[in-house]
Structure 1
Amino acid sequence: MTSNVKESFGHSAPPAPAALAAKVRTLAPSMTRSMQRVAEAVAGDPAGCSALTVTGLAELTGTSEATVVRTARLLGYPGYRDLRLALAGLAAQQESGQSPAVTADIAVDDSLADVVAKLAYDEQQTLADTAAGLDTAQLAACVDALAGARRIDIYGIGASGLVAQDLAQKLLRIGLIAHAHADPHLAVTNAVQLRPRDVAIAITHSGTTGDVIEPLRTAFERGATTIAVTGRPDGAVSQYADHLLTTSTARESELRPAAMSSRTSQLLVVDCLFVGVAQRTYETAAPALSASYEALAHRHDPRSGRR
């Protein structure tokens, strides 16, 4: 595990049982191999592991008691006892049929009907995992910052850049000054102009995209409130984020790259941000939305003489 995990990350409320599997998928790539064995064991057999003592789980995974406790804490639980309770809850959900089995990866010879079914399941699971793992206290703090922001800069590259554009357009429609930057040079030159009361948002699934981290670092150093929307809360981007919003993704496969599922979870998070800000600024947001609807309707009205 890298050393740049925010100290506050481990002190938020323990994740609900339904969020445990998502937490394992999100954090496993950044764990040591021994911690990965513990995480994979508890996610793969929650019922069996919930019956084990810390010594028993250490023996099962060929690790140490200290590794088991560290893994529990990284997953968001104060100690192993709390993790066991979550495992028991997850096992009960699975037994009642509330947590369906994970579907197989998309194969090259799958029918289109199977592709549709598998993608739909994966998208639903990604959204459910992201919702279950989203820290609402962090989300509320982000909404507060955005609602009172003088200016908002949003950084994203590739698929994350499309999500950044989506959020910027939504915020513009409720009267906020927001701009999405996919060009890294333009992002940095704009970040230099940020000040306190401004907000900068970095969207990066990996948490290691340099072209996104650099403008966020600049904004952070200029005193702006900084937010990271990422699938890797222990990634380098967290060093410069005042607030972290964690996303989940489905398993990556040859025909389903990470950018597909990460985009789905990122869109959920930015929609939550937008709705929260619209609620908080309703007196000004509602008239702004109405004005934009009317302007677009007039633009496409054949009687207006414009296309």
Structure 2
Amino acid sequence: MDILEEIQKQFVYFSLKEKKVATYILKKGKEIKNMNITELAKVTETSTSTITRFCKKINCENFVDMKIKISSIYQEENKNHGLNIFDDVYSFYDKVIKNTIKNMNREKIEEVVALIKTAHRIFIYGVGSSGLTAIEMTQRLLRMGLNVSSITDSHMMLINSSVATEKDLVIGISTSGNTQEVVDALRMSKKNHGTIVSITSLSNSAITKTSDISLYVYNSSFVDDQRFVNSQFAIIYLMDVISMMLLADQTLNYKMNKTIEAILKDKEE
């Protein structure tokens, strides 16, 4: 585990000021090379003492030690970065995928796949960009003949979660892990004995504390949130993995092909 992975792993445990430092490093780590501790404190609106404590928490002896470890990660990247916009976008997606794979737990994913197959009903919650991902995941599962609904309105989430039962699977999507509308809905579903699965990028966040199973992906905003890139890319990758595992089931695969045939036939007519 490199130092950037260590920072993301411990992110939820940092104080508010330490999170400012962590966020700056995760987003703009390349700039640390030419900074001293006072300059970093200024751009993060913290203090040198905060940065010193932060260094200790991520197992660095001091600021210089942290800077060396961070700079070494970017040395290879700098050789290829900025050649052209195609390379930059590829580099972004490549980093997100590689780090998401590191965060994946195959056994937990297989457990979630089994729950999807056996659930009486499946509800998928998400707002904003995560809401769009919830809709995409719902469309895929519907094509496999599963009883699934996506809920992206906060008011409807609470209504829906109030009628969840022990036979239902509830999936909450929140990259930050702290989307209040989703967290509240999952808590209500949990109270009604629904099985709760969360998809997020931060362990020990509010959403994971409510879940029976949590699946983790890499937070793409830690790579770049200054440009128009897909913040849901890591979750979409996980969704592809889950979809492929589900389609290994002959019954679900058959139903998927039947829905495709129906759609094609409708277009022909």
Q: Report the TM-score, using the length of structure 2 for normalisation.
A: 0.73
Following the alignment from structure 2 to structure 1, what is the Cα–Cα distance between the partners of residues 257 and 180? 39
Q: CA 1:235 to 1:118, structure 2 compared with 1: closer, same or farther past 3 Å?
A: same
- Of residues 231, 252, 257, the one that matches 2:201 is 231
5+ residue gaps, structure 2, are 30-50, 60-71
* Residue in structure 1 matched with residue 188 of structure 2 by the alignment: 218
* Residue in structure 2 matched with residue 300 of structure 1 by the alignment: 267
Q: CA 1:94 to 1:206, structure 2 compared with 1: closer, same or farther past 3 Å?
A: closer
Following the alignment from structure 1 to structure 2, what is the Cα–Cα distance between the partners of residues 289 and 35? 44
Contact 1:26 1:231 in 2 (8 A): no
Confirm or deny that 1:203 pairs with 2:173.
yes
- Of residues 11, 26, 29, the one that matches 1:28 is 11
Following the alignment from structure 1 to structure 2, what is the Cα–Cα distance between the partners of residues 23 and 176? 38
Confirm or deny that 1:194 pairs with 2:194.
no
Contact 2:8 2:202 in 1 (8 A): no
Following the alignment from structure 2 to structure 1, what is the Cα–Cα distance between the partners of residues 101 and 7? 15
Following the alignment from structure 1 to structure 2, what is the Cα–Cα distance between the partners of residues 294 and 224? 34
* Residue in structure 2 matched with residue 174 of structure 1 by the alignment: 144
* Residue in structure 2 matched with residue 14 of structure 1 by the alignment: none
Alpha-carbon shift at residue 276 of structure 1 (Å): 2.2
> Any idea what the Cα deviations from partners look like across 1:123-145, whole Å, max 9, x if unmatched?
12101110111122221221121
Confirm or deny that 1:136 pairs with 2:106.
yes
- Of residues 75, 82, 86, the one that matches 1:116 is 86
Alpha-carbon shift at residue 151 of structure 1 (Å): 0.6
Q: CA 1:136 to 1:102, structure 2 compared with 1: closer, same or farther past 3 Å?
A: farther
5+ residue gaps, structure 1, are 1-16, 45-60, 73-90, 106-112
The alignment yields a C-alpha RMSD, in angstroms, of 3.6
Contact 1:247 1:262 in 2 (8 A): no
Contact 1:191 1:219 in 2 (8 A): yes
- Of residues 125, 145, 148, the one that matches 2:118 is 148
Confirm or deny that 1:252 pairs with 2:224.
yes
* Residue in structure 1 matched with residue 233 of structure 2 by the alignment: 264
Alpha-carbon shift at residue 71 of structure 1 (Å): 4.8
Alpha-carbon shift at residue 197 of structure 1 (Å): 2.6
SS in 2 for 1:252: coil
* Residue in structure 1 matched with residue 46 of structure 2 by the alignment: none
Determine what percentage of the aligned residue pairs are the same residue.
Answer: 18
* Residue in structure 1 matched with residue 38 of structure 2 by the alignment: none
SS in 2 for 1:300: helix
Following the alignment from structure 1 to structure 2, what is the Cα–Cα distance between the partners of residues 294 and 200? 29
Following the alignment from structure 1 to structure 2, what is the Cα–Cα distance between the partners of residues 102 and 225? 47
